[in-house]
Chain A
Amino acid sequence: MINDFHYLKPASLKEALAMYAEHDDCKVICGGQSLLIVMRQGMVAPEYLLDIKHVKELSYIKFDEKDGLRIGATTTHREIEKSDIIAKKYPVLVAMEEKLASIQTRNWGTIGGNLAHADPAGDPGPVLIALNAEIKFGNSGGEKLVPLDEFFVDYFETQMEQGDLVLEVHVPAPEPKFGCAYQKFNLLDSDMGIVAAAASVTLNADGTCKDVRIVLGNAGPIPLRVTKAEDLLKGKKLDDALFAEAGTIASEECMPVADIHASEEHRRHVLGVLTKRMLKKAFEQAQTAA
């Protein structure tokens, strides 16, 4: 049963931040796709619920060749999936969204809610970190901009404190020789991933690896960067043997837990395979990118 609460409906972002600062035992609802489930289970029972679903200032997708992409927190998954500019500039984000939950959940759930929820099995986290994204959050006293991989702290925990709202996700403009790929492993397309891997590769003009990011989903308490595997590849001329070795390192470096869906051993194995495959895919994209 969902508990009784006082419902707060701000008309603007300013009002939302002010209301959040004023009320101690207060929880934010946006699409409610994750929150209402835990409220129904009685795991979350706030005295006040602050509804930011219709705060229009936070609903936008903006792109600029220099500045890159900016997505407001209350933008729905479906708006990202259907955005022409995102399809053109960051196709990996559209591919990720198409396999996130069901159409109904994507129609109402939001990117800000997904990141604030900080489920290590969530899809946007790994992909956005591979894309080198930053997240802006803040309260009535000010804003903070942090790299997304520093935002996540533990299972369902972020750097945000009481009174903070996610405001925006910023993805830098893609570099010239850049590629990024993501795949989750699950039994039904619309389920959360049993595990997942995102990889991005940036190449130098001479074809060597300028930068690489490998981020694993459901492989630990947060979307997990496997830096030892990344370090193996940096500066090198990449090939299949290196991708396979990076996969092996990633499967050792990650820290998945066993649950009803898969054992730890199985998760490590699949994470290694996905790492190898996503690196190759990202590398091939980077090679052919303009």
Chain B
Amino acid sequence: MEKQVLRFKVNGDEYEVFIHPKTLLVEVIRDHLGLTGTKRGCETVSCGACTVNINGASVKSCSVLAVQCEGLEVTTVEGLEKDGKLSPIQRSFLDHGSFQCGFCTPGMLMSATAFISEAKNPTKDQIKESIEGNICRCTGYNSIVRAIEAVTAGKYKEE
């Protein structure tokens, strides 16, 4: 079957990749672009480890055909850091010890980033719901919720 060209932006950079149309977004990100921060966990749209943001909205990249991202802007966990400085949610995760093995962390950070960008004075329940699509097998949910809470409460500014 014929390959085709996909042009899109990842973390602000323009990319042009030559792929089979059946290639999933997670495969392009990891295998073609070498951005291995995004994880493959279940591959059944359940765990959320593969979460990336498309035009600012979170999606599970194991459930998106890469060709559907033509002309769109994808952000992966590697794109959160700007000029060597971690983003507010990344610093908050560090301060709150919001990971154990770290496998869920990239997905958690992307869900949290999408949520923080649009949340106004969220309640604790809304914060919990913001990571409903992400599973942490080490069950460190409380520290993750505390980290998001600290950012939405304005304790971390863009550096």
Write the residues of chain A forming the contact surface with B, with a CB cutoff of 8 angstroms. Answer: 2-7, 9, 29, 32-33, 36-37, 40, 49, 51, 53-54, 78, 98, 101-105, 107-108, 189-190
Dominant secondary structure of chain B at its interface with chain A:
mixed
B85 in contact (CB, < 8 A): no
Write the residues of chain B forming the contact surface with A, with a CB cutoff of 8 angstroms. Answer: 1-2, 4, 20-22, 24, 43-45, 48, 51, 54, 57-60, 63-65, 67-68, 111, 114, 129-130, 132-134
Task: Assess whether B63 is in contact with A5, with CB atoms less than 8 Å apart.
Answer: no
Cross-interface CB contact of A189 among B24, B60, B68, B132, cutoff 8 Å? B132
Task: Assess whether B111 is in contact with A40, with CB atoms less than 8 Å apart.
Answer: no
CA–CA, A49 and B133, complex, Å: 27
CA–CA, A206 and B85, complex, Å: 67
CA–CA, A32 and B57, complex, Å: 16
Task: Assess whether A53 is in contact with B48, with CB atoms less than 8 Å apart.
Answer: no
Can you name the residue of chain B whose Cβ is closest to the Cβ of A33? Answer: B63
Task: Assess whether A78 is in contact with B57, with CB atoms less than 8 Å apart.
Answer: yes
Can you name the residue of chain A whose Cβ is closest to the Cβ of B72? Answer: A54
Task: Assess whether B111 is in contact with A36, with CB atoms less than 8 Å apart.
Answer: no
Q: Are A107 and B59 CB-contacts (below 8 A) given A5-B1, A5-B22, A102-B48?
A: yes
In the assembled complex, which residues on chain B have CB atoms less than 8 Å from the CB atom of A103?
58, 111, 114, 129-130, 132-133
CA–CA, A54 and B44, complex, Å: 23
In the assembled complex, which residues on chain A have CB atoms less than 8 Å from the CB atom of B130?
103
Q: Are A32 and B60 CB-contacts (below 8 A) given A104-B51, A190-B132?
A: no
Q: Are A40 and B43 CB-contacts (below 8 A) given A3-B22, A4-B22, A190-B133?
A: yes
